[in-house]
Amino acid sequence: MKSLRVLICAYACEPHRGSEPGVGWSVARHIAEHCETWVITREAFRQAIEAELANNPVSQLHFVYYDPPPWLKAEGVIRSHVHYYLWQIGTYPVARRLCRNIDFDLTHHVTYARYWGPSFLALLPLPFIWGPVGGGESAPKGFWRGLGLGGVLFEVQREMARWLGEHDPYTRRTARRSTLALATTAESAARMRKLKARSVRVLSEAGLPQEDIKQLRLYPLDGESPVRFISTGRLLGWKGFHLGLCAFAEARLTDAEYWIVGDGPERRSLEILAKRLGVDHKVRFWGHLPRKEALSKLQRCHVVVHPSLHDSGGWVCLEAMAAGRPVVCLDIGGPATQVTPEAGFKIAARNSRQTVVDLAEAIKKLAGSQELRKRMGEAGRELVMQEFSWSRKAEKMSGLYDLVLGEQRTSRRSGEFS
């Protein structure tokens, strides 16, 4: 039986990277274990991709490179959006030429993973998988006061960009022509349904390579004292670090520390907040660290606090669980689709005060029980192994391909005999 032939669109696609480039590469690389896979991506990634394939060949993985005119560089927020849109338009004739020579079974848009932009693969006369895509998450309005002026302006600009994207006729056409639309979160799924996507499922975009999972499993489940809590990421208002600090102070722990790894425009205000709360002697700001050093800090900590107000992905939570660290997060966005009650605490986000109090209660419970930390840590490790390795995610995606094509065949037969 011949392998399925799949055409993937991946604007961002680079080996050994995180975020969008890592998603593009990891999906393509592991789907190729199940299907004959062609990927349209950018020239910017050619060198890294070809070097990786020279060292680790994948027989069923093929790349086609395309870029818009060289004078249009993806610099700055507006230019990067224009670059992405023109790249999408340009991939359509590239894809049509490929379709004349290769009998594809379906097409699949992977990156950028946002629901409010079009994918021109949807215009091809083939079953079309859209996603997982996200971006439908918002910081609840009750939290805007704590974001500062810069944070509020960011949220307003984000809502405007989504509104424009949702009213783009090609975005709407992408949704309506999708055979299966995969959303990273429940919030994004709701917005995709409003765009008239026919079949929508929630599926996390995040995953970890098997080698990372194996390495993180070597971390001991409970180490030195004091009990250390850690938050990692860019210090931006919507990342919710201020909520984590307030909750740590609210918990009033005598033998505990809170480590913050990352840098950004909110660092100074967070340092001032820690001092005002009277916990600055227990809080350490490590600044931005290379990934290896950041993971070494994780190894010395016991619990990950991730109070982000609208993450679509949440790789921090996956790495934490793979390392056997319980996660305390908000019950919104990407982390809410990843963390189970067995692996951590998901805190409802109704308003700032309630959230801080409930975060503090979870922090106190974990600080006071080594047995609870160990039990949740073991559950997190098992969850990542079963659900979030890229190999496992590719198996699921391959199953969805089979499901979509099976439904298409059934629909055609029904039409023939009706």
Q: Residue 139 and residue 405: Cα distance in Å, rounded? A: 37
Is the pLDDT at 324 greater than 50? The verdict is yes
Question: Comparing C-alpha atoms, which of 187, 184, 176 is closest to residue 202?
Answer: 184
Lowest model confidence (mean pLDDT) among 52-56, 205-209, 224-228: 224-228
Residue range 330-345: mean pLDDT, rounded:
93
* The predicted structure's pLDDT at residue 417: 42
Yes or no: say if 388 and 338 are a contact pair by the CB < 8 Å rule.
yes
* The predicted structure's pLDDT at residue 414: 60
Please list the residues that pair with 262 across neighbouring strands.
287
Q: Is the peptide bond before 21 cis (omega within 30 degrees of 0)?
A: no
Confidence label for 41 from pLDDT (cuts 50, 70 and 90): very high
The reported pTM is 0.90
Is the pLDDT at 418 greater than 50? The verdict is no
* Beta-strand pair 283-287/303-306: unpaired
What architecture does CATH give domain 5-207+389-417? 3-Layer(aba) Sandwich (3.40)
CB neighbourhood size of 358 (10 A): 21
What architecture does CATH give domain 210-387? 3-Layer(aba) Sandwich (3.40)
- Could you give the residue range(s) of every CATH 3.40.50.2000 domain in the chain? 5-207+389-417, 210-387
Per-residue model confidence as pLDDT tens digits over 62-115: 999 998 877 666 666 667 788 899 999 999 999 999 999 999 999 999 999 999
Residue type at 80 in one-letter notation: S
Does 410 or 412 have the greater pLDDT score? 410
Percentages helix, strand, coil for the chain, rounded to the nearest 5?
50, 15, 30
Is the pLDDT at 51 greater than 80? The verdict is yes
What are the distances in angstroms from CA 349 to CA 62, 156, 187, 284, 320?
44, 20, 14, 26, 21
**Average pLDDT in the chain:** 91
* The predicted structure's pLDDT at residue 416: 52
Percent of the chain with pLDDT over 90: 76
Contacts of 76 (CB under 8 A, 6+ apart): none
Is the pLDDT at 411 greater than 80? The verdict is no
Confidence label for 281 from pLDDT (cuts 50, 70 and 90): very high
Yes or no: say if 359 and 307 are a contact pair by the CB < 8 Å rule.
yes
Please list the residues that pair with 107 across neighbouring strands.
7, 128
Confidence label for 175 from pLDDT (cuts 50, 70 and 90): very high
